[in-house]
Each structure stands twice: as structure tokens, then as C-alpha cells.
Amino acid sequence: MPENLFKTFDERWTLTFISPFEMAVANFGYTGIGDQVTCNFCKKIFLDWQPGDNPIREHVRLSQKCPFVMYAMKLIKGRLLTFNDWSVEFLNPYGMVIAGYFYTGIQDRVKCLLCMAEFGNWQQHDFPFDKHASQSPQCPYVIEHRNYFIMTAPSRPSIELKNIYDQLHFEGIVIFLRPVFHEKMIEFDKRLISFIRCLIPLQHDINTLCEAGFFYSGNGYSDTMTCFHCNYTHSDWNENQEPWVVHAKWSKYCSYLLLKKGKSFSNMVHAVKRDIIISNQLELFKLIAAKRNTFIIGNNMKIQSTKKNLNRIRITKLSSNKIQEHHFQKLDPDILPDSMLCKICCKQEIQVAVIPCGHTITCIECSISFIRCAVCRGLSFKFMRIYLCKDIKRYKYLKLIPSNSKMSPNNTTDPMLCKVCYKEKMTTVFLPCRHVYSCGKCAEQIDKCPICRADVFSLIKLYF
């Protein structure tokens, strides 16, 4: 974001639904008149902004030949920023961007900036690039990238496996990472510092606001705040509004929200009927059971069913409540053993598995800071939130034992060891609860999660 453009927004900028940060990212500077902004490349003036407008998309729509627009739309990151409110759950924004599209903001319609063809009415089993190549075969983007997509076509999942993969995403087990709108604000401390610019008293504790993903984006005299990830901007807060609830109510697809609070929290805020949730989960696990012991994508992400009899699959409201209750528990990272801390920042616990490689070494904030897995360097735009088994009382006790004591920690007290055999490392995540408790061999013998007592229907192997 050009800092000089951001500084053009002063107390005369009164819009609360579009922040100065968002305008500056779209290369707009404030003229000082009403809601008029201008681009220093194409020199056009943009005004009459409405709630829901996306500055970058408006820039593309009204000034397609602008040098800034043409450069931004050539970049994956630039096109990704147009998808911040994309609502087609079975097609992830990254896949659409790789196929050459940017989002128009209208229904499910996307465009290619090179051939200017428009595509919409997407169906469950559509492949974005195939549609591009079929309807616009002479598009320069299609011609340039055709060989790449021909080479990768054999690795595409079958329709049955795609159904499983799409359902894993729909249930919030696998989360497609949407574009991070304000990368400089990913770190909690950076969001905290942003509130120095606020010159008025606020209704909420700023630590709570920062934890919910917000940073201060106002002009100093308003209480305007923006989520660093999804760019949702909120103002006119009152003391009865809980930041996470506000975030989920108005931006339920935010990847940060889903990773931190889970799809279950979003469902609760939007009062989704529990019967519908349970029905969808049953459909997912029956699909997995029918394709037992299969690789969902690539050669690493193996998912297997623990239920040999499909008729045994049951999900109750009680088990769903237990999972949700345990997920909302929060522990102080200072009491966690080093082996359970993020290998990047060493501040937060390990919370995220990268899909499809399965590498599990990072916290949420570090995970979304990189576009490639820190271990294998594979592209990382799909994640699964996981919950490690933590015996806090045991860890506190072991820390009190002198290192030269006969009772001092040894190989059998490694906190990452399987909690059943204490021989192998914990390497398996239970579904649907996503607790990590045991090694792969012991996991196959477990019907109920020992942590939350929810039924275990499927297993996925992880790599720590």
C-alpha cells in the first residue's frame, strides 16, 4: 500500500464503510472533496461510493486501460483481491485466479482482463480453466497456460473425490485461504500499534479487537476498524457488540475468522439449524466411508473411514456441542512445551495443517503469512485447523523437576508422543472434532475421541 496515498485521507474523509487503507491499496488518493478519490496513473476521479463497493473492482471496471490496473491484474495477488467477497463455496478464489479470472462482484460472474470474456453460472463439477479455454480458445492467457493445465489434468480428482473435498470445505474442515487484504497487519502487535492513531475513547478493549482480526483504519476521530484479512470495515460500535460476533455476522467467509473460531461459530451466529448441519456431516462421512482409505488430493493427504458399517454413522447434537465447547477453550502459550509451539514465531501453539502436504508446524498467523508451505515449499492456500492434545497439569509438573533428577523428562514424556502407546509420535487428526491424540496405528482402534468423547468417523495423517 503506497504510504503517501494513505496520508491523503484526513478528517474530511467521512465514509465508514470503505477505509482509507482499502482506497490506498486500490491506488486511490483522496482529493479532499466529498468522497472523491483519484488514481495518479489514469487520473480518473471516482465518487458516489456505496456500501459493498470494492475499490479495486471499481478501478478495473471503470478504467481497464489504467497502467496500475493492467499491472495489478497480471499478478495473482492483484486478481485475488477482487475475490474478497466471493461466495461460491465449491470454487476457491485461488483456483479461479490461476485460471486467469478476476471477480466482477456481480453474482458468480468473473472476467479475464486479456480477452474480456465473462463467465458465470458455475456448476459443482466445473473446472475454471477448461471453461476459459472452451469459451475463449484464442485468449492470450489460455494459449500461454494451456500446456501447464494439460500436464496437471491427470492429477485431478475424480468426481467422487471432488465431492468429498468440496464437502470437507463446506463443513469448515478444510478452509480455502482467501486473499489477505492487509498483509502488514497480519501480526497481532502491528494491529495493536495501529490504535495509536485513534484519538477518541473506544467502547472495547483493543486487545480483544486485535484478537478478532481488527486494526484501526479511521481518520483519528472515528471508531472505524478493519479486518486485516477479509477487509470488512465496521464503525459506530456500541458496548453490547462482541467483536467476534460482529465479524462473523458480516463476513462469515473470512478465512481468519474460520481458522480462529471455526465454521460452527459462524453457524451459531447465523442461527443455522442444527439438523441441517448434522445432515451435511452425515453426507460427508458416508462419502468418505464409501471411498475408504483413499488419497483425496496429491500423494500425501490420505483420508480413511473408521466406520466399516455405514449404518453405524450417527451424529448427535450432544456430540456436536462437546466438540464446539472444547474448541472454544483457550490456553496460555507460556505454559505449553516448546515442541508444541509454532516453529516460525515460537509464540503460539501449532494450530494449522497445510493441505495437501499435511505439514503441521505453524500457528494461524504464521500460516497465512506465507503462500508456500514452510517445509516442502508447496503452494499453501488450503488449511485445516487442528487441536493438539495438551496435558497441561503434566507439563507444569515436569517443568518443576530438576534436569538431573531420575524423574526428569525423557523420551517417554515427550508431549508429542501418542497418548495411547507412548512410543510413536502423534500423527493423526480425528474427524469431525480435529483433535490430535495418537499415532496412526493406535488411531485405527479408537471409536471415540478421548478428549471430547465425540465419535470418530475418519482419520487424516499429519506430518509434524
Grade residue 77 by pLDDT with cuts at 50, 70 and 90: confident
pLDDT at 280 over 90: no
The verdict on 43 and 147 lying in the same domain is yes
- Tell me the C-alpha distance between 272 and 156, whole Å: 32
CATH code at position 125: 1.10.1170.10
pLDDT of 177: 82
- The rounded distance, in Å, linking the Cα atoms of 384 and 363 is 11
Grid coordinates 458480516 are at which residue?
Answer: 250
Tens of pLDDT, residue by residue over 145-160, are: 887 666 555 445 555 5
Span 236-251, average pLDDT: 92
Task: For the chain, give the mean pLDDT.
Answer: 82
Q: What mean pLDDT comes out for the span 177-181?
A: 81
Q: Are 217 and 346 in the same domain?
A: no
Residues 16 and 138 in one domain: yes
Residue 368: all three cell numbers together: 497465512
Task: Compute CA distances 378 → 308, 363, 373, whole Å.
Answer: 34, 18, 5
**Together in a domain, 147 and 207:** no
Average pLDDT over residues 355-378: 88
pTM tops 0.85: no
244/385 same-domain check: no
Residues 121 and 212 in one domain: no
CATH number at residue 345: 3.30.40.10
**Can you give the residue range of the structural domain that contains 196?**
183-252
State the Cα angle at 357 between 353 and 362, rounded to 5°: 30
How confident is the model at residue 420, as a pLDDT? Answer: 92
Residues 35 and 139 reside in one and the same domain: yes
Same domain for 341 and 244, yes or no, is no
Tens-digit pLDDT profile for residues 245-261:
999 998 888 999 999 99
Give the pLDDT of residue 409.
47
- Domain assignment of residue 274, yes or no: no
Judge whether 102 and 113 are in contact, CB under 8 Å. Answer: yes
Instruction: Give the three cell numbers for residue 171.
Output: 463443513
Q: What is the CA radius of gyration of the chain?
A: 24
84 occurs within a structural domain: yes
Q: Which of 37-51, 115-129, 152-166 has the lowest mean pLDDT?
A: 152-166
Q: How confident is the model at residue 51 (pLDDT cuts 50, 70, 90)?
A: confident
pLDDT band per the 50, 70, 90 thresholds, residue 331: low
Q: What is the average pLDDT across 399-426?
A: 70
